Structure 1
Amino acid sequence: MSDKRQLPLWQESILLVVTAMVMAVIVKAFLVQAFYIPSGSMEPTMLVNDRILVQKVSYWGGDVSRGDIVVFDDPGNWLTPEESRHPSNAVQRTLEVFGLFPTGGHLIKRVVGVAGDEVKCCDSTGHLTVNGTSLKEPYVLDSSLTHDLSFEVKVPKNHLWVMGDNRGNSADSRAHLGDPGGGFVPTDNVVGKAWVRVWPWNRAGLVNYPETFNALNNSKQ
């Protein structure tokens, strides 16, 4: 039996590069994708130009949970032209396609209400309520700004109600109450759940999720 003929080095190199690119596309599509934070709407949890990894495994056959920080496609002109920007040069745009450069053109917010929830602002203590439960939100930059806009909504099927942690500077669901979609985000628009901050190095690490929504998520509400 003769030995298998080895490919020339240049052919092996091309094969390795193509294989790596295919694997990168698969990882981006099904597992993990890189994003950058375009605005200060999620301060202090996320800062402008933070680089994060968003994991998609949590939503394989599962639902988005209250309290999740999610990246989602713009549901209808929520983003300004500056926030919608994509990489400016060809190399970065190519890397973006393969998930090797942080993606732009998306939003990141915290899920406050899921389908069927009644979300209200605010109770007598100035806190949001979900299904009558008052929320204590330690992640909010300035909790006194939460009750600047009163509202009471019921989240429709297959939709989410999302809000930024920087309540005084977040054009979230509240800001789009009068839009055709009523400020709700279709669950199909969700790309994934914020998982790890990879840049800057001094703040790198897993994204922290406080216990604010644990009781609600564990109940039948």
Structure 2
Amino acid sequence: MSGTGRTGGGRGRLGSTLSGLAVAVGCVLFLGGFAWGAVVYKPYTVPTESMTPTVHAGDRVLAQRIDGSEVHRGDVVVFTDPGWGNMPMVKRVVGIGGDKIACCDKGRLTINGKPIEEPYLQTKDPASGNDFTADVPEGQLFLLGDERRDSLDSRVHLDDPGQGSVPRSAVQARVDAVAWPLGGMIGRPQAFAPLPGGVSSPGPLRLQLGVVAAGAVLILLGAAYGPIAARSARSARGKRDKVPAGVH
């Protein structure tokens, strides 16, 4: 009986050690994931309905802090430009330096003569209510809202020197997800992928969420070990106490 006790005690100590290790590692992952996210991402509140149905007015989005040189066609970006009111705005990049943007070819936007399918648009209406063309200067971006009927975007600024475009340096972040109300990730439109430069790679948000989730699971498992081990020990003692006297 004494040998069994020593063995049980050894198992208990090992279990306690592993439990503490799981909680410690879980805390590092959980807090580290949040800290990583805070460094890489910044929350924004979308001010208008110009990007519906992708994001709506009042939605809280998570935008990855990036340099303007990292922007690709199809990205939904947060930018600030004096000519647009000098306040943070959210629009979709449809053209980059050197592109010729035109609308509409059978209701579709064209980039360098290539018609672009835009499944993120609000309705089956044309890609723009008014026809237009624009040559995007090098180092500039041409931006449109997904709600083309009401969006005040590059089309409003076509008479400006940059033909409605803004400098890449105006971009502060790229929107990766709608955080509240829960709306999920914002994908990269594959219609832009065949064009030179392709589309942006996914941001690290999914990985960060996975790290946080793994940390939470380890913390819960480690914390649950104590009550489970105690219940198991009580059960074992109860069984030993029921053994008839003289039975070994």
Same fold per TM (> 0.5)?
Answer: yes
Tell me by how many angstroms 1:192 deviates: 1.2
1:141-170: CA deviations, max 9, x gaps?
124242321111110011000000000010
Structure whose alpha-carbon radius of gyration is higher: 2
> How do residues 46-85 of structure 1 correspond to structure 2 at under 5 angstroms?
46-57=55-66, 59=67, 62-76=69-83, 78-79=84-85
Q: Which residue of 1 aligns with 2:12?
A: none
Which of 160, 164, 168 does residue 183 from structure 1 map onto? 164
Q: Which residue of 1 aligns with 2:185?
A: 206
Q: Which residue of 2 aligns with 1:192?
A: 173
Question: Do the aligned partners of 1:65 and 1:217 also contact (CA within 8 Å) in 2?
Answer: no
Q: Which amino acid aligns with 2:159?
A: G
Q: Which deviates further from its counterpart, 159-168 or 135-144?
A: 135-144
Question: Do the aligned partners of 1:34 and 1:54 also contact (CA within 8 Å) in 2?
Answer: yes
Q: Which residue of 2 aligns with 1:173?
A: 154
1:32-74: CA deviations, max 9, x gaps?
21101000000000001100111025x48x5310101111013
Aligned with 1:212: secondary structure?
helix
Distance 2:60 2:177 in 1: 9
Question: Do the aligned partners of 2:77 and 2:172 also contact (CA within 8 Å) in 1?
Answer: yes
Q: What residue ranges of structure 1 are gaps of 5+ in the alignment?
A: 1-23, 85-104
Question: Do the aligned partners of 1:71 and 1:190 also contact (CA within 8 Å) in 2?
Answer: yes
Distance 2:107 2:153 in 1: 19
Q: Which amino acid aligns with 2:74?
A: G
| Greater share of residues in helix | 2
C-alpha change, 1:135 and 1:32, in structure 2 (3 Å) is same
Distance 1:75 1:181 in 2: 13
Q: Which residue of 1 aligns with 2:50?
A: 41
Question: Do the aligned partners of 1:71 and 1:192 also contact (CA within 8 Å) in 2?
Answer: yes
Question: Do the aligned partners of 2:44 and 2:62 also contact (CA within 8 Å) in 1?
Answer: yes
1:98-134: CA deviations, max 9, x gaps?
xxxxxxx3111110000000111111x1111001110
Distance 1:64 1:114 in 2: 9
Question: Do the aligned partners of 1:75 and 1:189 also contact (CA within 8 Å) in 2?
Answer: no
What's the Cα RMSD here?
A: 2.6
Distance 2:70 2:175 in 1: 15
Q: Which residue of 1 aligns with 2:114?
A: 133
Q: Which amino acid aligns with 2:77?
A: V
Tell me by how many angstroms 1:27 deviates: 7.6
Tell me by how many angstroms 1:181 deviates: 4.2
> How do residues 95-110 of structure 1 correspond to structure 2 at under 5 angstroms?
105-110=87-92
* Equivalent residue pairs, number: 166
Question: Do the aligned partners of 2:63 and 2:173 also contact (CA within 8 Å) in 1?
Answer: yes
Question: Do the aligned partners of 1:50 and 1:199 also contact (CA within 8 Å) in 2?
Answer: yes
Question: Do the aligned partners of 1:66 and 1:111 also contact (CA within 8 Å) in 2?
Answer: yes
Identity of aligned residues (%): 40
Q: Does 1:153 align with 2:134?
A: yes
Aligned with 1:215: secondary structure?
coil
Distance 1:119 1:151 in 2: 8
Which of 177, 180, 195 does residue 216 from structure 1 map onto? 195
Q: What residue ranges of structure 2 are gaps of 5+ in the alignment?
A: 1-34, 199-248
Question: Do the aligned partners of 2:143 and 2:153 also contact (CA within 8 Å) in 1?
Answer: yes
Aligned with 1:174: secondary structure?
helix
Tell me by how many angstroms 1:139 deviates: 0.3
